[in-house]
A and B are shown apart, each in its own frame.
Chain A
């Protein structure tokens, strides 16, 4: 039995009845990393010694707690975290040269919560530099490869985390989602990815990209596992003033409910935009399955949704240019030694340290925020953002969730789209809306087109992740797509 293949739920049971230990699980994952990560390149850092020490600690804690260990569902469960999430004592790079040797002095809140819950950190995963991208090709340390086809991208920006879960090198992974960065790679790699409501999980200790949409969330093998992780990482945090005090429910109770009579809004124009026949058929079959399970499908129109990408590519670069201003070569990170003045410390450290997409976004953001252009671009975008948000909120009043494809295509080839930034931005077409509106959304695997995974996206009401988990779990109970694994 390869323990690395287990879901969280399965591992919990085996740990609880003493069949396995956390050390066994952790060793299995570390062995799997050694076996396949040369080919996938999902990990930027593996902390084997620290992980084994944490696993031993978790086993000790379990012994001491006895039957009470049941209250700690992640005790001894090994996971990976995207490398834009701060981990005390373990290098955090954001896949950027500017932070190549950065070691955070504290844990992000989500990491701290997982640590307190007894989860075991195996290492850090690759991403597009500072989470800028949809393919992981923008990493300063090289692209991650899709485990289903090594010549293809895993999606992004949380590509390392999604590839790692698909290849079974961990039990779950953390990603961050700003405009699709959890959902896109989950769809491309055939795993489950949940973007929580904005403010549901704390941003404290994330390397900020777009502070008004960034949110950390789980990438897992099943919807049920996503609910287990969300329960631990969600909630108000005094270090992040944008996390409201909203109760985090017992998601496990949601699962017991079926989906008979639920109304699902189907965005017909989105399905029409999918040009590949096979791909579209897979998606329509998933909708049929949900119908068979009792959901009522209602057509929904989102006329403002097409402005999601232009709005996103004004707001995101604006916030990026501001958030990345902190990298000045003085307090931390790369500092150029070829300098004569204080200004050159800034310009040369930043010029040498940032990669091309980060620079492009800093430039774009600086331009649209500069004097004379602010009203035409930034303010206009913020107003269209209101339209997009109101439209989604309005439709969600009439239905329990909205269903769309997660991505317009299957994973593309490495190098296919990275010469034209605009082509890459268009990958985000179905995923930016919920981000701009701060709504929860989940990508669920629903089949294959030409041997590559396809996923659908469910969008829900603010703070009602439970509804998405309920629909997704019912779907996974009735299908086997999430159990398909790449043959790597």
Chain B
């Protein structure tokens, strides 16, 4: 399995990753190697086997959807991690041109 440069660029776009020319090339061959290795799973017969997504046996853990009080200082500390915010809201670049 050999991934083309276009395919790698497409995956990078989906993942919102800006990659250099060098990285595109490197990941091209490394991902191809890993995918070839992974291909051995083809030999396992999984007819009638259910997929496992979690192992706790827990099902539908619910809680009531209520707005709780949150420590004001913690809210402030959380917001302070953003590069830009105003009046308690994150500031971002223009979304629509």
Contacts and interface: CB of A to CB of B under 8 A. Distances in A.
B67 interface: no
B9 to A, nearest CB: 11
Main secondary structure of the interface of B (DSSP, over half): loop
Contacts of A258: none
B17 A385 contact: no
B34 A422 contact: yes
A387 B34 contact: no
Contacts of B8: 363
B3 to A, nearest CB: 8
Contact of A350 (B18, B41, B44, B55): B18
A94 B23 CA distance: 22
B28 to A, nearest CB: 10
Nearest to B8: A363
A307 B90 contact: no
Contact of A386 (B19, B26, B33, B52): B52
The size bracket of the interface on B is: 35 or more
A316 to B, nearest CB: 11
Interface string A330-358: 11110100010111111110111010100
Interface stretch (A21-29, A277-285, A375-383): A375-383
Nearest to B56: A199
B86 interface: no
A364 B34 contact: yes
25 contacts: A102-B81, A198-B56, A199-B55, A199-B58, A241-B58, A307-B41, A310-B40, A330-B92, A333-B81, A335-B83, A343-B16, A346-B16, A350-B18, A351-B18, A360-B27, A363-B12, A380-B44, A384-B41, A384-B46, A387-B49, A389-B52, A421-B33, A421-B34, A422-B34, A425-B34
Interface of B: 3, 8, 11-12, 14-20, 23, 26-27, 30-31, 33-35, 37-38, 40-41, 44, 46, 49-58, 61, 63, 74-75, 77-78, 81-83, 90, 92-95
Given A370-B14, A421-B33, 19 more contacts: A105-B74, A105-B78, A199-B56, A212-B53, A242-B54, A242-B56, A304-B44, A310-B40, A311-B41, A329-B83, A343-B16, A345-B93, A351-B20, A364-B35, A370-B11, A380-B44, A383-B51, A383-B52, A421-B34
